[in-house]
Structure 1
C-alpha cells in the first residue's frame, strides 16, 4: 500500500508499518509502530513539517510556514492515531496537524530509521579494467522511458556508459542529451566540436594525446555529465581511455591514507585561459560528501596552476599528487576502447577521468561532438521517472 502525505510533496510513500500508539512527552511525541520500532518526534519538528494547506502551498507543494513564527515552547494539547492510521496533533495555539504514516516513517529520525535510509541510498559501483561496459540502444532510449531509466541509473551508479546506433548528422547529440534535461552551455558552446585545428583554444582540439582528466576543473561546479559523440573516426590512433576516479581514490585511501588525506585537504588551483576568457578555481582534488564518501574528483594536469601550499605542506602535496597520477596509469584501473561512428560515451565527468591517445590527422578525418548536462539534472530525471 502506498500513502500520500497530504501536500508534503509529489511522491507517495509505502506503508511499511502501521502506527499503533502515540505518547506525549515533555518535548516530543513518541510513536510506536506495529513492527515494534519506536520513533520520537520533537514538537518543533512536527510543527515545522505540518503538511496542511495553511503551512504548505497546495499548488507548488512548497512550505510557507517559517518555524520562527511559531512559539518556541509550543506543545500539543493532544496526540492520537485516527481511524485512517494518521498521527493527529492538536496544538495549544489551536492549530491541527495530521501526518500520514508512510510519510512519517520515511522521515523518522530515530537511529534505526536513519541507518535504514542511509543503507538504501544509491551507492557507486566501483570498477577497473574488467568493467563490463553498459551499452544501450539509441532508439530505445529515445522511445522508451523504462530503457531511459535503466541508462540513467547506470550513469549514476557506474559513471560510464556507451550508446550505439546514434545518427551521425552533426547536432544529433542534442536530442539524446535533452532526454535527460537541458544542456549546460560553456565558453566552448552548447555543443562543442572535438577536431584538430590550427588555432586551438584547448589541447582537446589538437592531435596530441590527452592525459586522464575531468573537464572544466577550472569551474566552481564542474559539469556533471559529459557526452562525446563520434561522427567520423578514420584517423589512426585516438583511442578513448577511462578510469574510475572514485575507485582510485578509495584504493588510495586504503593503500596510502596520508596521501588520500592530503588530496582531500590541500587545495589546488586549476586555470583555463584563452584569448577571451580566464577561468580559475581553487579546490582539493578529492571532495568528500557529508558522510565522508568520495563525491568528486577534480583533475587536469594541463590546466593546473603552480601549487600554492605552505612550506611544510608542499612536499606532502607533491608526494600525494604524484601517487594519484601514477595510479591512473596502472593497468588495473584503465579501460581503453576506440569509439566508432554512431557511438557515444556518456559518463560522470566529476567521477570518471577520461583520456585520448594521440592520433594522426594525416591518416583520416576525426570529428566528435560533445556537450555537458549537470549531475543535478540526471538525479532529478531519475526521481521523476521513478515517481
Structure 2
C-alpha cells in the first residue's frame, strides 16, 4: 500500500455540523483488516476498511440534497482492502479502493468518530449529564422570561439546555389569553396530540375523564405512562389561579432512581427488570402499557421513569418475585416523600411550568373550586424534538 502524500482539495463532509481539528493525522500504518492512524497528539486509532468504505462522504455514496447514505455496505467485498491510503496536503485522509473509487475524510470528522477506547471514553464523558436535584433547587429553579425566549435564540438555547439537564423550568411573563401556550411550545417543535387534544384545559369539571380534571389531590406521577412512548415534555400554563390550594409539587425521579441504585441495589434492579402494567380507560378509549418503572439507556444511565399509582394495574409478576416487587415499589414511593427530592410552589397567572415528563414526577394539592377560578392549559412535545432543537441551535452558533 502506498502511503505517499499529495495535494488534493479538502473532502466534503456528509453532515451539517462543523468539525474542528483538535489533532492532525501524523502517520498511517496499514494492517490486515484496518488502517492504523497515529494522531499528532500520539493517540492511535484503528479504522477498519469496511468502516471507512461504509462512511465515505462523497456524492456517489451520500445524496448531497438529503445528506443520507446511498451506499449499502453489502455491495462491497467483505474482505475489502484499499489500493493505497495517504495524508493529503490539507490534512485529509485519502483512500483509493481497488474498483477506482476514492474516499476522502476530514481529520476533524474522523477524530470525532474514532472508536479506539480513549476516543469512545472521551465522547462518553462529553455527553450532557442530568443534574440531579439537591434541596437547593427550590431557591435555584431555572426561571426564564417569555418575551426573551420568544425573540432571542440564545435565551431559547439556555432554556432548552436547562430543561434537558435539570428536568424542571419555569417561564414567567406570559400572556394569559387561551392558546398562548402553543406559541412557546412551537419554538421547540410541533405539539404532540393525545386523546386529551392538542392543548388540554386543566379545570375542575363534573364530566371528568381524568383525575386531573377534578379538584382532588393528584398524587405524584408521570403523564401517560399508559403509552408505549410517554410524552417527553409537559407544559402547564396558568391562565388564572384564584382558588385556595392547588400548589404544584415536583420530584426528581432520576435522583430517586440513583438513590435506590446506591442505597438499595436489589430494589433498583427489580424496578429496572420487572414490568408493571399501566391502564388509562374511559368511555371511548382503553390505553395500556407494560413496562418497567425505571428504564436505562445503552450506557446504564437512567433515561425514563414511568409511574402513576392511580393508573397502575394489579402487579403480575412470578410468585417468587412478588414480595421483591412490592418492597421495591414501596421504597420508591417512600423516597418521593422525602424533602431532599421535592420542589413545591404555587403557579400564578402568567407563569408556566415546563418539565421532562419522563423524569420529573408532578403532583397537585387539592383545591377548593368554590373559592375562585383555576384554569391551566397544557400540551406535550416529545423529548426527541427538544434534543434536535438544541443540536440545531448549537450548530448554528
- TM-score in same-fold range (> 0.5): yes
Question: Contact 1:204–1:210 at 8 Å: present in 2 too?
Answer: yes
Deviates more, 1:125-134 or 1:343-352: 125-134
Q: How many residues align?
A: 385
Aligned to 2:116: 110
Q: How does 1:98-247 map to 2 (within 5 A)?
A: 98-131=104-137, 132-247=140-255
Detail structure 1 runs of 4+ shifted over 3 Å in the superposition.
none
- Partner Cα distance (2:25, 2:71) in 1: 26
Please tell me whether residue 309 in structure 1 is matched to residue 317 in structure 2.
yes
Of residues 52, 56, 61 in structure 1, which corresponds to 2:58?
Answer: 52
Aligned-pair CA distance for 1:299:
0.4
Counterpart check, 1:358 vs 2:391 = no
Which residue of structure 1 lines up, in the alignment, with residue 101 of structure 2?
Answer: 95
Which residue, 81, 88, 92 being the options, matches 1:75? 81
CA distance in 2, matches of 1:155, 1:171: 22
> Secondary structure in 2 aligned to 1:353?
strand
Alignment partner of 2:44 out of 33, 38, 41: 38
Are the aligned partners of 2:248 and 2:363 in contact in 1 as well (CA < 8 Å)?
A: yes
Distance 1:49 1:253 in 2: 39
Q: Structure 1 CA distance, aligned partners of 2:285 and 2:336? A: 30
**Mapped partners of 1:130, 1:366: distance in 2:** 29
Is residue 2:17 matched to residue 1:11?
yes
Distance 2:69 2:204 in 1: 52
- The question of 1:280 aligning with 2:280 is answered no
Residue 5 of structure 1 and its aligned partner are, at CA, apart by 6.2
- Preserved CA contact (<8 Å) 1:128 1:244: no
Superposed displacement of residue 7, structure 1: 3.8
CA contact (8 A) 2:13 2:106 kept: no
CA distance in 2, matches of 1:361, 1:256: 42
Cα distance between partner residues in 2 of 1:128 and 1:253: 17
Using the alignment, how far apart are the partners of 1:6 and 1:303 within structure 2? 52
| 8 Å Cα contact 1:128-1:243 kept in structure 2 | no
Paired residues of 2:58 and 2:103 also in contact (CA < 8 A) = yes
Cα deviation, residue 129, structure 1: 3.0
In structure 1, what is the Cα distance between the partners aligned to 2:155 and 2:173? 15
Contact in 2 for aligned 1:227/1:370 (Cα 8 Å): yes
Q: Aligned partners of 2:316 and 2:25: how far apart in 1?
A: 57
Task: Look up the match of 1:253.
Answer: 261
Moved more, 13-22 or 279-288: 13-22
Check if 1:29 corresponds to 2:35: yes
Contact 1:242 1:335 in 2 (8 A): yes
Aligned to 2:278: 270
Do the aligned partners of 2:11 and 2:104 also contact (CA within 8 Å) in 1? no
Distance in 2 separating the partners of 1:341 and 1:371:
17
Measured on the aligned residues, the alpha-carbon RMSD in Å equals 1.0
Kept after mapping to 1: 8 A contact 2:222/2:358: yes
Looking at structure 2, the residues matched to 136 and 106 of structure 1 have their Cα atoms a distance apart, in angstroms, of: 33
- Measure how far apart 1:93 and its partner are: 1.8
Shift of 1:128: 3.4
- 1:174: Cα distance to partner? 0.4
- Answer yes or no: is the 8 Å Cα contact 2:168–2:353 preserved in 1: yes
Check whether the contact 2:216–2:365 (CA below 8 A) recurs between aligned residues: yes
**TM-score, length of structure 2 as denominator length:** 0.96
- What is the rounded CA distance, in whole Å, between the counterparts of 2:44 and 2:370 in structure 1? 72
User: Scaled by the length of structure 1, what TM-score is found?
Assistant: 0.98
Runs of 5+ unmatched residues, structure 1: none
Separation in 2 of the partners of 1:383 and 1:118? Answer: 17
SS of 1:32's partner is: strand
Distance apart, 1:118 and its partner CA: 0.6
Query: Once the 2 structures are TM-superposed, how far is the Cα of residue 311 of structure 1 from its aligned partner?
Result: 0.4
